[in-house]
Amino acid sequence: MAESVVSDDMRAHIGVEGSESISEVTSTGCRLFAHAVGHTDPIFYDREAARSRGFRDVVAPPGFLGSAVFRPGERIDTDRLMARSPYRRILNGGTTFEYFEPICAGDVVRSRSKVTEYQERQGSIGPMLITFRETSYVREDGTLVAKMYGNLINY
């Protein structure tokens, strides 16, 4: 078995949450995303249609968790979430979402990500490092609204 590319520093960061990101959910953002991915349900476009079905406002379609708030001069801590891999190529290994509460226009969502696991595998073209990540999304009132699970493959 070859020596592991997962360093002690990488192992030490497993489970440690990174910097907080803030996203705003707007009705325009919801409509644009829904249109781009082909949703036709009026709750993604029309406030009254959404309210008639019990939602607070236009509903964020699946996969849309708002638009990041840009704050000039602020450094985003993404280095820790990117494995320091000796492999040059990277591939999105998949992303899934788990929703707990509806996300609607007007919501401000705070998120934090963490690495949950590293796996090393032998692929058909050589060794791979798979980095598993989890991101929690919390509305300003403290309600956990969603989680994202994803992995990146370095090869």
Per-residue pLDDT tens over the stretch 122-141: 999 899 999 999 999 999 99
CA distances from 123 to 53, 91, 102, 129, 153 (A): 48, 13, 39, 10, 11
Q: Which residue did the predictor score with more confidence, 66 or 70?
A: 66
Q: Does domain 1-22+76-155 have CATH number 2.40.50.100?
A: no
Domain ranges of the chain: 1-22+76-155, 26-64
**Under 8 Å CB-to-CB from 36, ≥6 apart: which residues?**
none
**pLDDT at 71 exceeding the cut of 90:** no
First to last CA, the chain: 17
Q: What is the pLDDT of residues 93-126, one digit of tens each?
A: 999 999 999 999 999 999 999 999 999 999 998 9
Cβ neighbours around 55 below 10 Å, total: 17
Strand, coil or helix: what is 35? helix
Q: Please give the Cα distance from 60 to 45 (Å, whole number).
A: 9
**% of the chain exceeding 70 in pLDDT:** 93
pTM over 0.85: yes
* Most distant CA pair in the chain, distance: 61
- Residue 72 has a pLDDT of 83
Q: Which residue did the predictor score with more confidence, 86 or 91?
A: 91
- Residue 78 has a pLDDT of 57
Q: Please give the Cα distance from 147 to 83 (Å, whole number).
A: 21
- Residue 73 has a pLDDT of 79
Q: What is the pLDDT of residues 14-43, one digit of tens each?
A: 999 999 999 999 999 999 999 999 999 999
3 band by pLDDT with thresholds 50, 70 and 90: confident
86 band by pLDDT with thresholds 50, 70 and 90: confident
Choose among 63, 133, 127: nearest CA to 92. 133
